[in-house]
Protein backbone atom coordinates (compact mmCIF):
# COMPACT_ATOMS: atom_id res chain seq x y z
CA UNK A 1 0.00 0.00 0.00
CA UNK A 2 1.73 3.14 -1.27
CA UNK A 3 1.99 6.17 1.02
CA UNK A 4 1.87 9.81 -0.08
CA UNK A 5 2.28 13.07 1.82
CA UNK A 6 -0.85 15.10 2.56
CA UNK A 7 -1.44 18.27 4.57
CA UNK A 8 -4.20 18.19 7.18
CA UNK A 9 -5.54 20.88 9.50
CA UNK A 10 -6.23 19.28 12.88
CA UNK A 11 -7.21 20.67 16.25
CA UNK A 12 -4.50 20.78 18.94
CA UNK A 13 -6.61 18.60 21.24
CA UNK A 14 -6.93 15.99 18.50
CA UNK A 15 -3.17 16.02 17.89
CA UNK A 16 -2.44 15.55 21.60
CA UNK A 17 -4.84 12.62 21.78
CA UNK A 18 -3.35 11.06 18.63
CA UNK A 19 0.21 11.50 19.94
CA UNK A 20 -0.75 9.88 23.25
CA UNK A 21 -2.32 6.96 21.39
CA UNK A 22 0.72 6.65 19.12
CA UNK A 23 3.07 6.51 22.13
CA UNK A 24 0.87 3.86 23.72
CA UNK A 25 1.09 1.73 20.58
CA UNK A 26 4.79 2.32 19.99
CA UNK A 27 4.39 4.17 16.69
CA UNK A 28 4.44 7.72 15.32
CA UNK A 29 1.74 10.31 14.65
CA UNK A 30 1.48 9.76 10.89
CA UNK A 31 1.15 6.00 11.23
CA UNK A 32 -1.41 6.37 14.01
CA UNK A 33 -3.55 8.73 11.93
CA UNK A 34 -3.27 6.30 9.02
CA UNK A 35 -4.42 3.41 11.23
CA UNK A 36 -7.35 5.36 12.67
CA UNK A 37 -8.58 6.46 9.25
CA UNK A 38 -8.12 3.00 7.76
CA UNK A 39 -10.19 1.43 10.53
CA UNK A 40 -12.89 4.09 10.11
CA UNK A 41 -13.30 3.27 6.41
CA UNK A 42 -12.94 -0.51 7.04
CA UNK A 43 -9.61 -0.78 5.22
CA UNK A 44 -7.03 -3.32 6.38
CA UNK A 45 -3.56 -1.75 6.37
CA UNK A 46 -0.28 -3.65 5.80
CA UNK A 47 0.43 -3.26 9.52
CA UNK A 48 -2.85 -5.02 10.32
CA UNK A 49 -2.04 -7.85 7.93
CA UNK A 50 1.39 -8.26 9.54
CA UNK A 51 -0.21 -8.13 12.99
CA UNK A 52 -2.48 -11.03 12.01
CA UNK A 53 0.53 -12.99 10.74
CA UNK A 54 2.38 -12.41 14.01
CA UNK A 55 -0.68 -13.52 16.00
CA UNK A 56 -0.63 -16.83 14.13
CA UNK A 57 3.12 -17.27 14.72
CA UNK A 58 2.68 -16.53 18.42
CA UNK A 59 -0.21 -19.00 18.74
CA UNK A 60 1.82 -21.68 16.94
CA UNK A 61 5.19 -21.21 18.67
CA UNK A 62 3.90 -20.06 22.04
CA UNK A 63 2.57 -23.52 22.75
CA UNK A 64 5.82 -25.34 22.07
CA UNK A 65 9.37 -25.02 23.34
CA UNK A 66 10.64 -22.28 25.61
CA UNK A 67 10.30 -19.41 23.17
CA UNK A 68 9.90 -15.79 24.22
CA UNK A 69 8.04 -13.83 21.57
CA UNK A 70 7.57 -10.10 21.33
CA UNK A 71 6.11 -7.74 18.73
CA UNK A 72 5.04 -4.14 19.18
CA UNK A 73 1.63 -3.15 17.79
CA UNK A 74 1.82 -1.75 14.25
CA UNK A 75 5.44 -2.87 13.96
CA UNK A 76 6.65 -5.04 11.08
CA UNK A 77 9.14 -7.05 13.17
CA UNK A 78 8.63 -9.91 15.63
CA UNK A 79 11.39 -11.08 17.97
CA UNK A 80 11.64 -14.73 19.05
CA UNK A 81 14.24 -15.75 21.63
CA UNK A 82 15.32 -19.33 22.18
CA UNK A 83 17.86 -21.05 24.44
CA UNK A 84 20.35 -23.31 22.65
CA UNK A 85 21.29 -26.77 23.91
CA UNK A 86 24.97 -26.01 24.23
CA UNK A 87 27.21 -25.98 27.34
CA UNK A 88 26.40 -22.62 28.95
CA UNK A 89 22.93 -22.40 27.29
CA UNK A 90 23.42 -19.30 25.15
CA UNK A 91 20.41 -17.58 23.62
CA UNK A 92 19.69 -16.99 19.97
CA UNK A 93 17.21 -14.47 18.57
CA UNK A 94 15.09 -14.89 15.49
CA UNK A 95 13.73 -11.67 14.02
CA UNK A 96 10.90 -12.03 11.54
CA UNK A 97 10.75 -8.86 9.44
CA UNK A 98 7.83 -8.48 7.03
CA UNK A 99 7.79 -6.19 4.01
CA UNK A 100 5.22 -3.42 4.15
CA UNK A 101 4.80 -3.67 0.38
CA UNK A 102 5.81 -7.22 -0.65
CA UNK A 103 7.34 -7.75 -4.08
CA UNK A 104 9.81 -10.51 -4.93
CA UNK A 105 10.16 -11.22 -1.24
CA UNK A 106 7.58 -10.84 1.51
CA UNK A 107 10.06 -10.50 4.36
CA UNK A 108 13.16 -11.98 5.89
CA UNK A 109 14.40 -13.95 8.86
CA UNK A 110 17.37 -12.59 10.81
CA UNK A 111 19.12 -15.01 13.15
CA UNK A 112 21.16 -13.07 15.70
CA UNK A 113 23.68 -14.52 18.13
CA UNK A 114 26.17 -12.99 20.53
CA UNK A 115 28.98 -15.26 21.58
CA UNK A 116 32.72 -15.06 22.13
CA UNK A 117 33.08 -18.83 22.02
CA UNK A 118 35.17 -19.80 18.96
CA UNK A 119 33.84 -23.36 19.13
CA UNK A 120 30.21 -22.24 19.08
CA UNK A 121 30.87 -19.83 16.22
CA UNK A 122 32.41 -22.65 14.19
CA UNK A 123 29.46 -24.96 14.85
CA UNK A 124 26.90 -22.26 14.01
CA UNK A 125 28.71 -21.45 10.77
CA UNK A 126 28.82 -25.13 9.80
CA UNK A 127 25.11 -25.54 10.44
CA UNK A 128 24.15 -22.41 8.51
CA UNK A 129 26.24 -23.53 5.52
CA UNK A 130 24.70 -26.99 5.62
CA UNK A 131 21.22 -25.47 5.83
CA UNK A 132 21.88 -23.28 2.78
CA UNK A 133 23.14 -26.30 0.84
CA UNK A 134 20.02 -28.30 1.64
CA UNK A 135 17.69 -25.49 0.66
CA UNK A 136 19.58 -24.77 -2.56
CA UNK A 137 19.19 -28.43 -3.49
CA UNK A 138 15.57 -29.02 -2.51
CA UNK A 139 13.79 -25.67 -2.76
CA UNK A 140 14.70 -24.66 -6.30
CA UNK A 141 12.09 -27.02 -7.75
CA UNK A 142 9.39 -25.12 -5.84
CA UNK A 143 10.68 -21.54 -6.04
CA UNK A 144 12.56 -21.44 -9.34
CA UNK A 145 14.16 -18.02 -9.81
CA UNK A 146 12.51 -16.82 -6.61
CA UNK A 147 14.60 -19.16 -4.44
CA UNK A 148 15.34 -17.55 -1.03
CA UNK A 149 18.55 -15.55 -0.69
CA UNK A 150 21.03 -15.75 2.18
CA UNK A 151 23.70 -13.65 3.85
CA UNK A 152 26.17 -14.48 6.60
CA UNK A 153 27.61 -11.61 8.60
CA UNK A 154 29.32 -11.24 11.96
CA UNK A 155 26.80 -12.36 14.57
CA UNK A 156 24.01 -12.67 12.03
CA UNK A 157 22.53 -15.01 9.42
CA UNK A 158 19.80 -13.77 7.08
CA UNK A 159 17.37 -15.57 4.83
CA UNK A 160 14.60 -14.02 2.73
CA UNK A 161 10.99 -15.19 2.72
CA UNK A 162 9.22 -15.67 -0.61
CA UNK A 163 6.24 -17.63 -1.93
CA UNK A 164 6.78 -20.68 -4.15
CA UNK A 165 5.71 -20.40 -7.77
CA UNK A 166 2.34 -18.74 -8.22
CA UNK A 167 1.24 -19.47 -4.63
CA UNK A 168 -0.89 -16.94 -2.77
CA UNK A 169 -1.10 -17.20 1.04
CA UNK A 170 -3.53 -15.44 3.32
CA UNK A 171 -2.36 -14.08 6.68
CA UNK A 172 -3.04 -17.33 8.55
CA UNK A 173 -1.25 -19.46 5.96
CA UNK A 174 1.73 -17.09 5.94
CA UNK A 175 1.98 -17.12 9.73
CA UNK A 176 1.67 -20.90 9.82
CA UNK A 177 4.42 -21.30 7.18
CA UNK A 178 6.81 -18.94 9.00
CA UNK A 179 6.08 -20.46 12.41
CA UNK A 180 6.76 -23.97 11.09
CA UNK A 181 9.93 -22.85 9.39
CA UNK A 182 11.42 -21.08 12.42
CA UNK A 183 10.41 -23.90 14.79
CA UNK A 184 11.95 -26.55 12.53
CA UNK A 185 15.15 -24.57 12.05
CA UNK A 186 15.45 -23.99 15.80
CA UNK A 187 14.79 -27.64 16.63
CA UNK A 188 17.36 -28.89 14.13
CA UNK A 189 19.95 -26.34 15.25
CA UNK A 190 19.52 -27.36 18.89
CA UNK A 191 19.75 -31.06 18.03
CA UNK A 192 22.85 -30.41 15.93
CA UNK A 193 24.62 -28.53 18.74
CA UNK A 194 23.61 -31.21 21.23
CA UNK A 195 25.17 -33.93 19.06
CA UNK A 196 21.88 -35.63 18.21
CA UNK A 197 22.88 -36.13 14.56
CA UNK A 198 25.64 -38.63 13.81
CA UNK A 199 26.00 -37.59 10.17
CA UNK A 200 25.04 -34.96 7.61
CA UNK A 201 22.71 -37.57 6.09
CA UNK A 202 20.62 -37.62 9.27
CA UNK A 203 20.27 -33.84 9.11
CA UNK A 204 19.23 -34.11 5.47
CA UNK A 205 16.67 -36.78 6.32
CA UNK A 206 15.17 -34.57 9.03
CA UNK A 207 14.99 -31.63 6.62
CA UNK A 208 13.26 -33.80 4.01
CA UNK A 209 10.78 -34.95 6.65
CA UNK A 210 9.92 -31.28 7.21
CA UNK A 211 9.47 -30.67 3.48
CA UNK A 212 7.31 -33.78 3.08
CA UNK A 213 5.11 -33.09 6.13
CA UNK A 214 2.64 -30.99 4.16
CA UNK A 215 3.81 -27.59 5.45
CA UNK A 216 3.49 -24.53 3.25
CA UNK A 217 6.88 -23.51 1.97
CA UNK A 218 8.19 -20.00 2.41
Domain tally for the chain? 2
In this structure, the answer to whether residues 109 and 131 fall within a common structural domain is yes
Question: Tens digit of pLDDT for each residue in 124-159?
Answer: 999 999 999 999 999 988 998 888 999 998 889 999
Check residue 3 and give its pLDDT: 66
Q: How confident is the model at residue 60 (pLDDT cuts 50, 70, 90)?
A: very high
Q: Is residue 27 part of a domain?
A: yes
In this structure, the answer to whether residues 12 and 106 fall within a common structural domain is no
Q: Is residue 39 part of a domain?
A: yes
Q: Is residue 204 part of a domain?
A: yes
In this structure, the answer to whether residues 94 and 12 fall within a common structural domain is no
What is the Cα–Cα distance from 92 to 115, expressed in whole angstroms? 10
In this structure, the answer to whether residues 28 and 62 fall within a common structural domain is no
Asked if pLDDT for residue 115 goes beyond 90, the answer is: no
Asked if pLDDT for residue 37 goes beyond 80, the answer is: no
Tell me which of 137 and 6 has the higher pLDDT.
137
Residue 186 belongs to what domain range? Answer: 46-211
In this structure, the answer to whether residues 76 and 172 fall within a common structural domain is yes
Strongest mean pLDDT among 10-14, 165-169, 200-204? 200-204
In this structure, the answer to whether residues 107 and 198 fall within a common structural domain is yes
Q: Is residue 162 part of a domain?
A: yes
What angle (nearest 5°) sits at the alpha carbon of residue 28, between those of residues 25 and 31?
90
Q: Is residue 218 part of a domain?
A: no
Q: Is residue 217 part of a domain?
A: no
In this structure, the answer to whether residues 153 and 122 fall within a common structural domain is yes
Q: Is residue 3 part of a domain?
A: no
In this structure, the answer to whether residues 135 and 200 fall within a common structural domain is yes
In this structure, the answer to whether residues 52 and 13 fall within a common structural domain is no
Question: Tens digit of pLDDT for each residue in 163-191?
Answer: 998 889 999 999 999 999 999 999 999 99
In this structure, the answer to whether residues 25 and 94 fall within a common structural domain is no
Q: Is residue 188 part of a domain?
A: yes
Three-state SS letters, the chain: CCCCCCCCCCCHHHHHHHHHHHHHCCCCHHHHHHHHHHHHCCCCCHHHHHHHHHHHHHHHHCCCCCCEEECCCCCCEEEEEEECCCCCCCEEEEEEEECCCCCCCCEEEEEEECCCCHHHHHHHHHHHHHHHHHHHHHCHHHHHHHCCCEEEECCEEEEEECCCCCCCCCHHHHHHHHHHHHHHHHHHHHHHHCCCCCCHHHHHHHHHHHHCCCCCCC
Provide the 10 A C-beta neighbour count for residue 116. 6
CA-atom Rg of the chain in angstroms: 20
In this structure, the answer to whether residues 26 and 74 fall within a common structural domain is no
The backbone torsions φ and ψ at residue 111, rounded to the nearest 5 degrees and listed phi first, read -110, 115
In this structure, the answer to whether residues 99 and 23 fall within a common structural domain is no
For residue 114, give the CATH number of its domain: 3.30.1460
Check residue 48 and give its pLDDT: 85
Amino acid sequence: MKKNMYSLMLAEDVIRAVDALAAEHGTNRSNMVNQILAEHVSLTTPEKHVGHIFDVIEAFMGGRGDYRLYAEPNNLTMSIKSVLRYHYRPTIRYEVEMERTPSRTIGQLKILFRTTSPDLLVELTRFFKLWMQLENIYLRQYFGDNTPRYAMEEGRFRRTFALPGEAVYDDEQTGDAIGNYVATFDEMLKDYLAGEYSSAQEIENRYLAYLNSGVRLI
